[in-house]
Structure 1
Amino acid sequence: MTFRTAALLLSLASTTGLAFAHGNEDHKPAGPVRMEQKPWGIAGEAKAVTRTIEIGMTDAMRFTPDRLEVRQGETIRFVHNNAGKVMHEFVLGTKKDLDEHAALMKKFPGMEHDEPYMSHVAPGQRGEIVWRFNRAGEFDFACLLPGHYEAGMVGKIKVVAQ
């Protein structure tokens, strides 16, 4: 198989919903973090963390806290604690991106993804992400597992300009 063929197959797989599953199974260790700029920031490096924020997740379909304020330029370590009995996730994004992703999750509930702005946390476990907020604005976070988003498992992050 040529490099071009392999790249094409990988590209097709990533756009056809062929991905991993969201479930209570163990997730494979993450590979290298993709440093891709998003409207809400970019993956951060652990050595650059300026603050750690603990986020609780419950089966009442809530995050605690669900409103955050950070400064533009901060690199935050989010530590997610799932106190529930079901899988939860934490996904950063814009409201539009989260709405679109939630709709895809309904159509393809077995879909999985391993992006640096997402954390999947099994019941009773902890997860974390490191994110650099290099753009000011108001952004969102949510659990996009089917039913969780609709039940109100959402939050807001205000990134204050320097």
Structure 2
Amino acid sequence: MMKTKSAAALLILSTLLSNMVFAGGNHDSHPAEATSSPVGMPGKAKNVTRTIDVSMSDMMRFTPSNINVKQGETVRFLITNDGKIPHEFVIGSKDNLKSHAEMMRKMPDMQHAENNMVTLNAGQKSAIIWQFTEAGVVDFACLIPGHMEAGMVGQFTVQ
């Protein structure tokens, strides 16, 4: 019985993971050459054109939550958790963010190690360097269970 449950959980996890777009290109400790997607790709520090501070709060909000960027621009996001509980900053398409949030509800202890996301405990700071390769709208959200549903979302407008 336990083997059946483990096998079912593994099958669900592998199916969900296969449907997600991961910005770094792979999931091992030796990142592959970054590939572009509609949401962009990890940027290089030498190409950063500006830095944007983003704060996360226990009011389930990002500040700012709407950010304008230029197509091709590489931005360093300095992300701070100003709250007392953990929060995440995850860049992705709306559909992928929703799928990943659903997976997080089923596996709330899931750990992340991707170039398009950071999880921060209270008071922590981190940075993501991101290149916006295509014009349009790119979303970001906190995928900790309940946070996105409470309104912890934002958008980049890529012009």
TM-score range, shorter chain: 0.7 to 0.9
Question: What is the aligned partner in structure 1 of residue 54 from structure 2?
Answer: 55
Letter in 2 for 1:105: M
| Aligned residue in 2 for 1:114 | 113
Pair 1:137-2:136 in alignment: yes
Quote the residue 2:76 is aligned against.
77
State the TM-score, normalized to the length of structure 2. 0.80
Corresponding residue of 2:151? 152
Give the drift of 1:15: 2.6
Amino acid at match of 2:139: D
Q: TM-score, normalised by structure 1?
A: 0.78
Deviations 1:100-124 (A, max 9, x none): 1111111111212211110111110
Give, as a single letter, the amino acid of the residue that structure 2 aligns with 1:153. Answer: M
Task: Quote the Cα distance in structure 2 between the aligned partners of 1:33 and 1:71.
Answer: 26
1:105 aligns with 2:104: yes
2: CA distance, partners of 1:70 / 1:38: 16
Distance change (3 Å), C-alpha of 1:17 and 1:40: closer
Any unmatched runs of 5+ in structure 1?
1-11, 19-29
* Aligned-partner Cα distance in 2 for 1:94–1:17: 15
Aligned to 1:23: none
Contact in 1 for aligned 2:66/2:154 (Cα 8 Å): yes
Aligned to 1:54, what secondary structure does the other structure show? strand
Structure 2: state its 5+ residue gaps: 1-10, 18-27
Q: Is 2:112–2:118's contact at 8 Å kept on the other side of the alignment?
A: no
The SS at the match of 1:99 is helix
Which amino acid counterpart does residue 106 of structure 1 have in structure 2? R
2:37 match: secondary structure: coil
Between the aligned partners of 1:17 and 1:72, the Cα distance in structure 2 is 30
1:127 aligns with 2:110: no
1:38, distance to aligned residue in structure 2 (A): 2.2
C-alpha distance in 1 between matches for 2:15 and 2:72: 35
Aligned partners of 1:139 and 1:156 also within 8 Å: yes
* RMSD between superposed Cα atoms in Å: 2.0
For residues 35-54 of structure 1, the aligned pairs below 5 Å read 35-54=34-53
Task: Note the 1:5-24 alignment, pairs <5 A.
Answer: 15=14
Structure 1 residues 94, 58: CA separation in 2 closer, same or farther (over 3 Å shift)? same
